[in-house]
C-alpha cells in the first residue's frame, strides 16, 4: 500500500518548494513528473544502472525547472504562463524520449531462447514497459530490485528503498534551506524586495528553487514509474492536485511552526492523503469518483479554519443573545 504512496511524498515536497517557499504556482509539475518517469524508464530499458537512471530522471527535472525559471525571470513572463509553456513543451519531449526505448521480446524458436530488439520507427511512444527485458537481454533492473538480498519479500524491499530515499531527500532539503543560499531562496519567496536590498540575487534564487522543486517532482515520477513497472505519457495528469492536497492536509494536521516541522508535515501529509484515497477505494469507491474525493479533501481541509470560526462566532452570538 505504501509503495506508491511514498514517491508522492517527494512530489509534495517538490511542489511545496515552488508553491510555499518561492510562493510561485508552477504548473510545469505534470510535465516534469512524467519526464522523470519517462527518462528513467528509457534508460532502464537501455540497460543503465538503476541508481544512475533514477538520478538522470531527477536531473532532467532539474533542467526543466531551470527552463521555467529562465522564462519567468529573464523573459519576464508570469510564472503561471512560464510553467504552462514548459509543461506543454514537455508533453512532446516526453513522447520523443519514450520513443527511444526499444522493445525487447523473448522468442523461443525450436527450444532456443533468443531476443528481438526492435526500435521505434515512428520516433515517439506513449508507453515504456518495465516488465520485460533490457537491451542486454536481461530482465530490467529497477531501483527496487537492488537490495533484494536484504528483504526476501519484494514489497518490503520497495517500502524500504522508497523510505530511505524520502528520508535522505528530506534531510538534504532541510540542510539546504538552512544554508546561506537556501536562506536566500526562502527570503526571495517571502519578500523579494527585502532580499535584493540584502544583496540576494533573487532571479538566480527563483531559477535554482524551481530547479530543485522540479528535480524532486521528477524523482518522484521516476520512482512512481518503477513501482508501477511502466511509464506513460499521461502518468503526470493530476499530480499538481495530489501535491497541493498533501501540502494542505499536512499543514492542517501537523502544523508549520518551524521550517523543519513544515517539511515533515508536508511529507506526512502525502502519506495521509494516500491512506485516505486507498481506504476510500478499499471501501468500494468507484475509481471515476476519485477526483471528486480529491477535490472534497482539499475543500474540507481548506475550509476547516473558516468553518471553525463560523461555528465559534455562532456559539458566541448564541451566548450573547
Angle 216-83-202 from CA coordinates, rounded to 5° = 75
Closest CB 262 distance from other proteins, rounded Å: 10
| Chain residues that interact with other proteins, rule: CB under 8 A | 176, 178-184, 186-187, 190-191, 193-202
Asked whether the CA dihedral 275, 278, 283, 287 is positive or negative, the reply is positive
Closest CB 52 distance from other proteins, rounded Å: 24
Judged by beta carbon, residue 212 or residue 272, the one nearer other proteins is 212
DSSP string, 116-161: EEE--SSS--SEEE-SSB-TTSSB---GGGSSTTT-SSHHHHHHHH
Per the structure block, which three cell numbers stand in for 232? Answer: 506513460
Q: Torsions phi, psi of 120, nearest 5?
A: -65, 120
DSSP H or E run through 305: helix 290-320
Which positions ≥6 away from 90 have C-beta within 8 Å? 28, 31, 32, 34, 35, 64
Judged by beta carbon, residue 66 or residue 200, the one nearer other proteins is 200
- C-alpha span between 33 and 42 (Å, rounded): 14
Per the structure block, which three cell numbers stand in for 282? Answer: 478499499
Closest CB 95 distance from other proteins, rounded Å: 37
CA distances from 305 to 250, 299, 308 (A): 14, 11, 5
Judged by beta carbon, residue 72 or residue 186, the one nearer other proteins is 186
Judged by beta carbon, residue 196 or residue 229, the one nearer other proteins is 196
Judged by beta carbon, residue 197 or residue 319, the one nearer other proteins is 197
Judged by beta carbon, residue 202 or residue 227, the one nearer other proteins is 202
Closest CB 220 distance from other proteins, rounded Å: 24
DSSP H or E run through 107: strand 103-109
Closest CB 168 distance from other proteins, rounded Å: 17
Judged by beta carbon, residue 150 or residue 172, the one nearer other proteins is 172
Closest CB 192 distance from other proteins, rounded Å: 10
First and final CA of the chain: distance in angstroms?
52
Angle 135-138-141 from CA coordinates, rounded to 5° = 95
Closest CB 259 distance from other proteins, rounded Å: 8
Amino acid at each position: 500500500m505504501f509503495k506508491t504512496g511514498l514517491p508522492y511524498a517527494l512530489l509534495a515536497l517538490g511542489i511545496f518548494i515552488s508553491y510555499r517557499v518561492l510562493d510561485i504556482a508552477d504548473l510545469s509539475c505534470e510535465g516534469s513528473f512524467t519526464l522523470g518517469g519517462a527518462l528513467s524508464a528509457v534508460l532502464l530499458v537501455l540497460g543503465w544502472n538503476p541508481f544512475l537512471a533514477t538520478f538522470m530522471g531527477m536531473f532532467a527535472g532539474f533542467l526543466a525547472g531551470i527552463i521555467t525559471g529562465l522564462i519567468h525571470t529573464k523573459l519576464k513572463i508570469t510564472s503561471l504562463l512560464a510553467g504552462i509553456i514548459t509543461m506543454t513543451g514537455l508533453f512532446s519531449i516526453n513522447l520523443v524520449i519514450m520513443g527511444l526505448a526499444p522493445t525487447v521480446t523473448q522468442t523461443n524458436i525450436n527450444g532456443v531462447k533468443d531476443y528481438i530488439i526492435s526500435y521505434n520507427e515512428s520516433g515517439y511512444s506513449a508507453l515504456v514497459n518495465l516488465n520485460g527485458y533490457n537491451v542486454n537481454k536481461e530482465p530490467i533492473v529497477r531501483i527496487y530490485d537492488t537490495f533484494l538480498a536484504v528483504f526476501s519479500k519484494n514489497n518490503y524491499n520497495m517500502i524500504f528503498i522508497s523510505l530511505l530515499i524520502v528520508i535522505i531527500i528530506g534531510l538534504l532539503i532541510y540542510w539546504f534551506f538552512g544554508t546561506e543560499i537556501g536562506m536566500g531562496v526562502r527570503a526571495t519567496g517571502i519578500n523579494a524586495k527585502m532580499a535584493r536590498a540584502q544583496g540576494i540575487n533573487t532571479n538566480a534564487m527563483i531559477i535554482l528553487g524551481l530547479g530543485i522543486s522540479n528535480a524532486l517532482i521528477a524523482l518522484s515520477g521516476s520512482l512512481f514509474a518503477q513501482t508501477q513497472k511502466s511509464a506513460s505519457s499521461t502518468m503526470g495528469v493530476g499530480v499538481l492536485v495530489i501535491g497541493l492536497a498533501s501540502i494542505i492536509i499536512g499543514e492542517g494536521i501537523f502544523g508549520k511552526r518551524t521550517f523543519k516541522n513544515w517539511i515533515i508535515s508536508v511529507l506526512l501529509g502525502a502519506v495521509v492523503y494516500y491512506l485516505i484515497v486507498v481506504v476510500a477505494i478499499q471501501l468500494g469507491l468507484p475509481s471515476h469518483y476519485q477526483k471528486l474525493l480529491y477535490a472534497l479533501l482539499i475543500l474540507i481541509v481548506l475550509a476547516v479554519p473558516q468553518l471553525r470560526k463560523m461555528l465559534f462566532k455562532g456559539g458566541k452570538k448564541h451566548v450573547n443573545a
